Structure 1
Amino acid sequence: MKRPYRSIQQELLGWLLVPICTLWLVTTFSAYSFAARFANDAYDEIMLNSADSIVARILETDHGLMVDLPPAARDILEHNDMDTFFYRVVTLEGKTLSADADLPMPPEAANLPLWKPKFTDARVKGLKTRLCVLKVPVKGSPADEVVVIVAETLKARNHFATEITLSIIVPQLFFILLSAIAVSVGVSRALVPLKILRDSLRNRSQHDLTPIIEEDTPNEVKPLVVAINELMIKLAEDLEAQRRFVGNAAHQLRTPLAGLKTYVALLKRKKQPETTELLDQLDVGMDRLNKLVGGLLALAKAEPSANRSTDMIMTDLNSITGDITNALRAKAESKELSIEFMKNSESATIHGDPNRLQDLVSNLIDNAILYTQKGGAVKVTVDALEHQVKLVIEDNGPGIPPEDRDRVFERFYRVLGTGVEGSGLGLAIVKEIAIMHDATISIESVKPQGTRFIVNFKRSTAPVVNVQTV
């Protein structure tokens, strides 16, 4: 099973810091070992000097050998305040001449060469100590040889070794931290093109399939950008082919549907009782099919790939909305609905395609009429603000549940339980046209019941171009 990848930054930091930290640990161990050996050598030399000083204080008297080591001299031998100092002078027969009788005499001491010190570790009174054992002659006769044993605890040695080790590893630790920071910053800077690419793709409309610019991308990222661009080209070609198919199919269906509609009208004029009901049902079905075909054709025209910049001109939304409201007034009154159009300014200029804007307004008002019960009301408002123009269509119908508000803009999606027949394309067309005009669309609830659709356009101050909408 493959390990899941973390971020590239964490991956690079891991590959860099793991060997560096491992090397640092090895260096720490090696540095402490070196420092411990160095400290032992230095303090062993001091212990040997102490042993030589004690040898110099061995005197021969009438009563035999003795060690003349006054307290002041012993204080000098105890060269640091951290450790406990021990010493012992003993003959080869095991007779202690002076000092600490508890200090052990190594078994091999009698066989040591003269003046050749031996250093070893031992425990004295339960303490870890370092011993220096030195066999020396007193009168030049083997019978008068003595063994001088000097010992001290290890605190000063360990402290000295620790200080040396810290002086080596602490700068290395700072170097590792600085390296980690430098690598992290460097990797972050190196990943900036990827972050820019991510933000560029994230901020794109789902309909924007234009290729990504490759000029400013690093060589390592270019293969990814090229692959994404190739995928976008394929998607754009597939979507364009799909749009052409839907548009052509819808356009081709209109002519036979119109012919069938004419034939049904002619048959209904004959007023034959046995066929009247069937013809009425056929007429309703063809009306529904004709509306669906019209919706598909409008949706194909609203697709971004079908739009041309030359279609976008300065347009007065007041004029379009007022005309559509008047055109649908008869349909509203047939359901005993009141329909009202209001505007707060004589001009509400936006940059847009008049034909597509006509489809947007028509679908929103038609949707409000369709879902508002008999005796209800539909309010249409165009609110021209300083930097935007707001189109508001409000009804007092049953409303749209919050969980369905995002999905109503999907193609062929219809809210269940309304009992209203529809194609499910009207709001999908509205959404496509809003995207085409860089407009935002939102849905709000109306108290005590109802729905409010709000479309926000960017306002333009350029003069309106008078064109005939279709």
Structure 2
Amino acid sequence: MIAPSRLSLRRQLLLWLLLPQLVLWAGGGLLAYRFALSYVEKGIDQSLTQSVRALARQVKPVGSGLLIDFPKAAQDVLEQDPDDRISYMVSSPPGQFLLGNQRLPPPPHPPLVAGDPVFYGSMLDGRPLRIVALDVSYGEASAPQILRVQVGKGLAVQQRIARELVADMLVPLLALGVLLSLLVYGGIRRGLAPLTRLTAQLENRSVNALSPIGMTQAPSEVHALVLAINGLLGEVARSVQQEKRFINDAAHQLRTPLAGLISQVELAQRQTSEAGVAERLSKVRTGAERSAHLVHQLLTLARTETQARREPLDLATLAREVAREWTPRALAAGMDLGYEGEDHLTIQGDALQLREALSNLIDNALRYTPRGSSITLRVSQGSDGAHLAVDDNGPGLNPDDMAHVFQRFWRGSQQPGGCGLGLAIVQEIARRHGGEATVTQLQPQGLRIRLRLV
């Protein structure tokens, strides 16, 4: 029994389709934010480079000293934004404050190469800064000096711009994601509609309704499922039909011998002589044996209507074994039972069913062939498959009876002991092996029943 899943197929599809979309949306937002910060940082670096070089040009060496030409207007430009003001510092030697509006932290990896700006990040008064440092050489060759110019800019405004940029990107993407989710849900609902219709058809069927399910418009996967269900329904219908036929045949065929047994027992009870009782009991025994044979044949017929379990077997060896098993009975009946044909012939077949078919053919030949006749089992390989035949040189059949040989409960003779199912079983076994059974009148007399096995 298959345990039901906690999630329906529709919910599982929605989960596997929408969850990756949500993850990709969040990952895309994070990457977009990182890219936006990267581009903002590049813009800040360009601005800081221009500012630090402009500030360095305002510091001019004069002899062994410095002339700082930094007018008030230039200072106001640097400090014009109070929310995101630019911090600057001039020191010489590096770290010894000369000029600026803020003491800035030194670069993390000194010394610096003169003339090459170095960028680094730091914290100042609890706010993040992006700082550039530029060292400038001055002084005489005998007494070189280093001037360090540092300019820092806060990142709060740039981070806010990056967040706004990402938000402006993600909001439309979110709207598109919602629209896509609705389309996915509608597509899944439409795609699963054939399964819903199939479920409704199965739920509305009665127990005895085993006709095929009709579904003309359906995806290939659902169509394959419907074909598999129809195949199963067909097998169940055939099984039910076989069961009904078996019950009807058993009820019909057992009614007469059982009624005869009851009447013979009643007559035996009224007999006063031992000879009369013995005669009635003999008839009771004959009727019981016929009933037992009938039940055995009915059960064999029911078994042969199931699928044959075909495995590699040597048909010639099997035929010789069956011939040896029936030889004592043939000798007791005064008949010659032999084998002719291939020494070995391997086929795919059900050994139990083929043994039953051979036993039925030999039993029929022994019952209806006169004493002194000969019966021959033959195994040969033909162009259309393997051939298994039983020949006898008895009286054969009338031409009008040839068409009825394999019908159920048809008997060509009224001799006691038969029930008309032996050859029907043979035909069913041949069909289960992909072939058929045929009957042929032999010359000058006799009968051949041959099974073609594929």
User: Shorter-chain-normalised TM-score: which range?
Assistant: 0.3 to 0.5
Rg bigger for which structure?
Answer: 2
- Normalised by the length of structure 1, the TM-score is 0.46
Q: Bigger relative contact order, structure 1 or 2, given CA contacts below 8 A and separation 6+? A: 1
- Normalised by the length of structure 2, the TM-score is 0.47
